[in-house]
Structure 1
Amino acid sequence: MRELLKKHRELLRFAVVGGISFVITMSVNYGLKFTVLRTHPVTALIVGVLVATIFSYVANREWSFRTRGGRERAHEAALFFLISGVALGLNALPQWFSRYVLDLQAPRLSPFGVEVADFVSGIVIGTLLGTVFRWWAFKRWVFPEEDARVVEVADDPDIQDRKAA
């Protein structure tokens, strides 16, 4: 089990950052949706995802992919936010489809039904689509090279484990 965790450490860290980003997204989304953006639920979701994306860049760069790189920082950041923008569209698309194509909103549904439809389409399906795309795209374009950034051996258990093996 330990070897499996070591082998997939990067993915596990990405998942932890994603989990925290998910909580940020939900908190901002519902905070806005039930206050100032009551009539704009897709906008509330987009703002939540944007706030979480800023956190995600810092956390992924400095923790999840801390030894990966291969690009100048400005180029890396531009690619990260471009890919995150595409992922934001993928994240919002299911909720938009649910609301405006399937018309799963009031008066056709009760307020509880609307919340369930929004949660399943925007939070569950949208987050899943965006996360899978981000994992693939970040490794392919944003942080393409393994061991590209210098990290002190004493500070990084990943490098300590590789040197010990």
Structure 2
Amino acid sequence: MDFAKRLYERFSSLVHELAKFGSIGAVAFLLDTGLLNFCNVVLDFGPLTSKVVATTISTTFAYLGNRFWTFREREQSGLRREYFLFFLLNGIALLFGMLTIGFTTYTLNLHDSLSFNIANIVGVGFGTLFRYWSYKKWVFLEATDPIPVELPDGGVRQDR
């Protein structure tokens, strides 16, 4: 039991960060999937246009959630810079979804909802791995100034 406690203490910040990232990702995934199906089935935008629309909206939600909750302790390098990089990296991650949906729809010629949604889930899975790695590396940077462990002494040191 001691080993498990030490292991948790060592990785607790990573565990909490991953839990927050996963929570935001789960809500963004539900938003993305719901919008994807709404745009494709109800609005008849087509599979790839629907994916772009759904991802743009869910990405905005994910940025706000990750910036102000998951990675709030990290250094803020400017909203414009972060937002630009976030969307650029999500654009790259969007390619995973578009490739899997496009391959399923146009190469395999599968047009049913189940195949469409499975392709989306596979693309989102690959995109999520890429996003987590890239957000930590380029968007939400580690703080450059170390956080003090304890408060400095209140007294003034006088050398004679």
TM-score range, shorter chain: 0.7 to 0.9
Q: Distance in 1 between matches of 2:52 and 2:109?
A: 19
Please show how residues 64-79 of structure 1 align to structure 2 within 5 Å. Answer: 64-69=70-75, 71-79=77-85
Please show how residues 18-37 of structure 1 align to structure 2 within 5 Å. Answer: 18-37=25-44
Deviation at residue 146 of structure 1 after TM alignment: 4.0
Q: CA RMSD for the aligned pairs?
A: 2.4
Q: Distance in 1 between matches of 2:49 and 2:62?
A: 20
Query: How big is each residue's C-alpha offset from its partner over 1:45-64, in whole Å with a ceiling of 9 and x where there is no partner?
Result: 22111110000111000000
Query: How big is each residue's C-alpha offset from its partner over 1:89-110, in whole Å with a ceiling of 9 and x where there is no partner?
Result: 11221011111122223xxxxx
Alignment-derived partner of residue 55 in structure 2 = 49
**1:117 lines up with 2:124 in the alignment:** no
The TM-score, its normalising length taken from structure 2, stands at 0.79
Q: Which amino acid aligns with 2:50?
A: A
Aligned length: 143
Cα distance change, pair 60–126 in 1 and its aligned pair in 2 (3 A): same
Q: Distance in 1 between matches of 2:126 and 2:15?
A: 21
Cα distance change, pair 46–88 in 1 and its aligned pair in 2 (3 A): same
Between 1 and 2, higher relative CO (CA 8 Å, sep ≥ 6) is seen in 1
Deviation at residue 72 of structure 1 after TM alignment: 2.5
Q: Distance in 2 between matches of 1:58 and 1:92?
A: 23
Give the unaligned 5+ runs of structure 2: 151-160
Instruction: Tell me which structure has the larger Cα radius of gyration.
Output: 2
Give the unaligned 5+ runs of structure 1: 106-113, 151-158
Deviation at residue 147 of structure 1 after TM alignment: 7.0
The counterpart of 2:139, out of the listed 139, 142, 147, is 142
Deviation at residue 7 of structure 1 after TM alignment: 3.9
Alignment-derived partner of residue 86 in structure 2 = 80
Percentage of pairs with the same residue = 30
The TM-score, its normalising length taken from structure 1, stands at 0.77
The counterpart of 2:65, out of the listed 41, 59, 63, is 59
Deviation at residue 32 of structure 1 after TM alignment: 1.5
